[in-house]
Chain A
């Protein structure tokens, strides 16, 4: 019987030094790809945390580590205070999987085209809530389909995926996650493959899930604007490491890390004036056998000598707002882009 006060003090999910390396190449060309290096982040109850970064930043790898598709190379993930490495038995694993389900990016590939869309939901219910009878399962499936806006639920449940639009399929993904009564939903770029006019609907659904169902969501994206729309906190990743983290309005109003500033300056905003500033071409970072030091230094106009030797760690620069930049941590004003 866990001490309730102890449980309440812990964040819902916490990672400590989470690292994932992949071996690539074979034989004589063995190299290590540092997909995720030393990531320590937290996700609380009833909050949407946006994990933003470009390709190669490691954000998708983090999602897969949290979903236990990959095993970490080192570091630990704590869910409700308990380490995931201790989850070994089948019942424990099932419990974790129902607490932390995942919604995938591709609406056209994430549902098995051979079965009706009810298949995934009903299987989830069968696996994770075995106490329900068949009728109760159907009723529950209808309930979650209604919550995500797929109405009339009974009728949509009987359709095949090809009869649904992309936006509807993504809602099915959320329904499948909801059926397990999750605490945290890992959403891996859930709207990037949808049409723009449909995205808002899904983003609103995510907000609704947080507010009405009390679910936390880890929203992985490369689109900062959509992150601002739904998220409470923002975590920016670069080259497998955390660059900046904090309440989203704080980070967007006063970004401390040069990479965050670059990212924000590059976001197309039709209502703002065009700033042609950066000559930065968006070349991807080197994460194969990287050298120590800040991985952004090759592109950073503010890089100093220390940036070559010391790998910066996240440091709190203002309440709740952390950045991993030696220049910012030294107290200097950071105006890179």
Chain B
């Protein structure tokens, strides 16, 4: 259900019912460095249905941000897509030219960056930046721009008078909300968010997450939400993807992955969050560091840190297997051996 006055501004592609809004197949992204090629994203595949909320979690260096930029076609040299496809509403974004991409950018697919203070122009008012965005995508009528700008701000809970404010006059929470409002100017089908809450305090974070979920339910867009803090998305995402060393370690319905993680890395991550309720238990975290992606290990990439590692794990790379509705990249998971608490 679309509400609001801005109708679909481009009728180039039409989403069929039942068709996933995004199909990523075997996407690989490589950084060409002097030390050699670093495969930051290694054959990632997933589907995203309409209005689905996918959370991608992983720690620094796992490739989640690179994956995001790869999907949005925002990679700059030395990073480049070396394989795979990104089908957005049927069209492969990797093959599109810049001008073709421009027709879907912001109108069908928008991006919310990590730090609003870096993404917003500090010398322009919020309203001016909204105007820029709308003009860049073909809307020039001042009346329409003004009405739509006020409307999206109200949607995120900001008084439209702040269209006249500069970014530094707003609090961190309000800046992030205006970024989200800007992303919703054309009611896109997919919004990609790269750690939009990491610069905020916990109360503002909670408030923003709730707001994002409400907007999603109201407007029906799909979300890819990248974060290093999986407890943040635990209540909001439909599916959860855990990334490690550029690969998908586990992918499945959120509650399944939380309640019964299959990959030893996921298990370790779940256990790395101390709880404020319930009994106090000693935790161990995951010692060691992620592998150097310029020289990844021969077999399973998690083997050097895995407490359940066997010889077989070190011999050859591990493929993703499906166990019920969860995909997991672990030789031991299939046998029901690995079981977290």
A165 touching B289, Cβ below 8 Å? yes
Q: How far is the CA of A68 from the CA of B231 in the complex (A)?
A: 37
Which residues of B lie under 8 Å from residue A270 when comparing CB positions? 230-231, 234-235, 258, 270, 273
Would B283 and A267 count as touching, CB distance under 8 A? no
- State whether the Cβ of A157 lies closer than 8 Å to any Cβ in chain B: no
Among candidates B202, B235, B289, residue contacting A266 with C-beta atoms closer than 8 Å? B202
A276 and B210 within 8 A (CB) = yes
Contacts of A252 in B (CB 8 A): 276-277
The answer to whether A222 and B59 touch (CB under 8 A), given A271-B277, A278-B207, A282-B173, is: no
Docked Cα-Cα span, A55 to B201, in Å, equals: 7
Whether A196 contacts B273 in the complex (CB less than 8 A), given A54-B203, A270-B231, comes out as yes
User: B65 → chain A, closest Cβ, in Å?
Assistant: 14
Q: Is the interface of B mostly helix, strand, loop or mixed?
A: loop
CA distance A263 to B202 in the complex (A): 7
Contacts of B142 in A (CB 8 A): none
Q: Which of A196, A198, A229, A281 contacts B280 (CB 8 A)?
A: A229
Q: Are B201 and A282 in contact (CB under 8 A)?
A: yes
Cβ contact of B274, chosen from A198, A228, A282, cutoff 8 A:
A228
CB-CB under 8 A for A281 and B173, given A268-B206, A268-B229, A268-B231: yes
**In contact, A54 and B202 (Cβ under 8 angstroms):** yes
CB distance from B260 to the nearest CB of A (A): 13
- Assuming the contacts A201-B285, A269-B275, asked whether A284 and B171 have C-beta atoms less than 8 A apart, the reply is yes
Determine the residue in chain A with the shortest Cβ distance to B269. Answer: A197
B residues less than 8 Å from A229 (CB atoms): 274, 280, 283
Instruction: Say yes or no: B232 contacts A54, CB within 8 Å.
Output: no
Please determine whether A281 and B207 come into contact, CB atoms closer than 8 angstroms: yes
Please tell me if the beta carbons of B59 and A281 are within 8 angstroms of each other in the complex. no
Interface residues of A in 252-277 (CB under 8 A from B): 252, 262-272, 274, 276
B234 contacts A225, C-beta separation under 8 Å: no
**Known: A195-B228, A271-B277. Is A266-B203 also a contact (CB below 8 A)?**
yes
Chain B positions within 8 Å of A306 at CB level: none
Say if the beta carbon of B60 comes within 8 Å of chain A: yes
Q: Give the residues in chain A near B157, CB-CB below 8 Å.
A: 281
A21 at the B interface (CB under 8 A) = no
Q: Tell me, yes or no, whether B138 is within 8 Å of chain A by CB.
A: no
Looking at the assembled complex, report how far the CB atom of A150 sits from the nearest CB atom of chain B, in whole angstroms: 12
- Is A280's beta carbon under 8 Å from chain B? yes
- A274:B285 contact, CB within 8 angstroms: no
- Cβ-neighbour of A54 out of B201, B284, B285 (below 8 A): B201
Give 18 A-B pairs besides A269-B277, A284-B171 with Cβ atoms closer than 8 angstroms: A55-B201, A196-B228, A196-B273, A197-B286, A200-B284, A201-B285, A225-B273, A225-B275, A228-B276, A267-B276, A268-B234, A271-B278, A278-B207, A280-B203, A282-B200, A282-B204, A282-B205, A282-B206
Residue pairs across A and B with Cβ atoms less than 8 A apart, 13 shown, are A54-B202, A197-B59, A228-B274, A228-B280, A229-B274, A252-B276, A263-B202, A266-B205, A278-B207, A281-B173, A282-B202, A282-B204, A283-B173
Give me the 9 closest cross-chain CB pairs, A-B, nearest first.
A282-B204, A200-B285, A282-B203, A270-B234, A229-B274, A54-B201, A197-B286, A195-B59, A274-B235
